[in-house]
Structure 1
Amino acid sequence: MTQIAAIQPCLWFDDRAREAMEYYVSVFPNSRIVSIEGYPDESLDEHFAGMSDKVLNGRLTLNGVDFVCLDGGPLFTFNESISFVVTCADQAEIDRYWAALSHVPESEQCGWCKDRFGISWQIIPENMGELVNSPARIQVMMSQKKIVIDELQNA
């Protein structure tokens, strides 16, 4: 029997991986930091100058999903072409995640938000497909920043 390889997202932070890991574990239930390996002592190699206390390889689980992350410097940044979908049971759960993750108001649209680390999230109800099953409801959703279930149901 062939074993299926696990696929894990890898998050490249400039220099805040440890802070992000601790924050995300506090936001999502059933989450934990699995391990954090730091960069080697910078005195051993000039390539590691300024990287002491930074994350070379971090592993964490967020609500059952495994992630890896690292501090790699400013070469790459996050953008909206990749986002993580958080399906929520009700409006209270949407409100809780939105409050915890939305930190860039100009990036909010249709349930999408961006956190303080630059990662994009989609905070949506688990029955989103059902809630946008008509042109009127889609129009309401397009005008929303945070999804408000009652507004969609009443459209």
Structure 2
Amino acid sequence: MQKIVPFLWFEDSKAEEAAKFYTSIFKNSKIINTMRYGKSGPGPEGSVMSVNFQLEGQDFYALNDNPQFKFTEALSLFVNCDTQKEVDELWEKLKEGGMELGPGWVKDKFGLAWQIVPSFLFEFLNDPDPEKSQRVMKSMMQMNKLDIDKLKQAYEGR
């Protein structure tokens, strides 16, 4: 087991639905365990209390609880993508029922924010040549879903 595991609090009874949704989107992902309430509660006996699942080998816990606390963009899950196909597929699946937030950011139907980002982006943004990095930043800020070809063109000055 990992030493540090993200623990995601879902409103009402969405934890199992969310875990199934996320594991259907990411390769090398699975539900590990579903924990149910017993007679002692506090939820109805037999209903889902929490779900332990993995996305690309990263462990997560999802908890069902009341809607008192909601996800905000102050926490997001960052996904490094190697191809435009991967960016496109993840973006489309995660925004279904959710919304686009801005350059590389999408909020899913459960309210969780994701950053869907080409793996080379920070290398480009940290280039020692400020003209290159600023061209990439300017290009990126004009997008919602990130476009690898356009970012590379900006980097190369084309």
Shorter-chain TM-score range: 0.7 to 0.9
Deviation at 1:57, TM superposition (A): 2.4
* Secondary structure at 1:144 match in 2: coil
* Secondary structure at 1:26 match in 2: helix
Residue type of the alignment partner of 1:72: D
Output aligned runs, 1:62-101, within 5 Å: 62-101=55-94
TM value normalised by structure 1: 0.86
Deviation at 1:53, TM superposition (A): 5.2
Contact 1:94-1:125 at 8 Å conserved across structures: yes
Structure 1 residue aligned with 2:134: 135
Structure 1 residue aligned with 2:50: 57
Unaligned runs of 5+ in 2: 128-132
Deviation at 1:52, TM superposition (A): 4.7
* Secondary structure at 1:56 match in 2: strand
Structure 1 residue aligned with 2:6: 9
Contact 2:15-2:63 at 8 Å conserved across structures: yes
Q: CA RMSD in A?
A: 1.9
Aligned residues: 146
Structure 1 residue aligned with 2:130: none
Deviation at 1:40, TM superposition (A): 2.1
Structure 2 residue aligned with 1:114: 107
Match of 1:24 among 16, 22, 26: 22
Residue type of the alignment partner of 2:18: A
Deviation at 1:54, TM superposition (A): 3.7
* Secondary structure at 1:68 match in 2: strand
Unaligned runs of 5+ in 1: none
